Amino acid sequence: MAMSELAGRVAAVTGAASGLGRAMAFAFAGEGMHVALADVDTTNLESVEKVIRAQGVDAFSMHVDVSKAADVDAFAERTVAELGGVHVVCNNAGVALSGPAWEATEADWQWILGVNLWGVIHGVRAFVPHLIAQNAGHVVNTASVAGLISPPGMGAYNVTKHAVVALSESLHHDLRERGSAVGVSVLCPAYVPTNIADSERNRPRELRAGEKSAEALAKEAILKKAVAAGKISATEVAKAVVAAVKENRFYVLTHPAITGAIRARFEDLLDGRAPRDPLKL
Instruction: Give 211: exposed, middle or buried? Use CB within 10 Å, 0-12, 13-18, 19+.
Output: exposed
Report how far residue 1's alpha carbon sits from residue 150's, in angstroms, rounded to the nearest whole number: 40
3-state secondary structure of 249: coil
Give the residue from 29, 17, 71 showing the smallest Cα distance to 54: 29
Check if 157 is active-site.
yes
Can you tell me the distance from the alpha carbon of 48 to that of 119, in angstroms, rounded to the nearest whole number? 21
Q: Which entry of 28, 60, 111, 157 is annotated as an active-site residue?
A: 157
| Maximum pairwise Cα distance, the chain | 56
Angle at 92 between CA 195 and CA 87, to 5 degrees: 140
CB 246 within 8 A of CB 11: no
Write out the catalytic residue numbers. 157
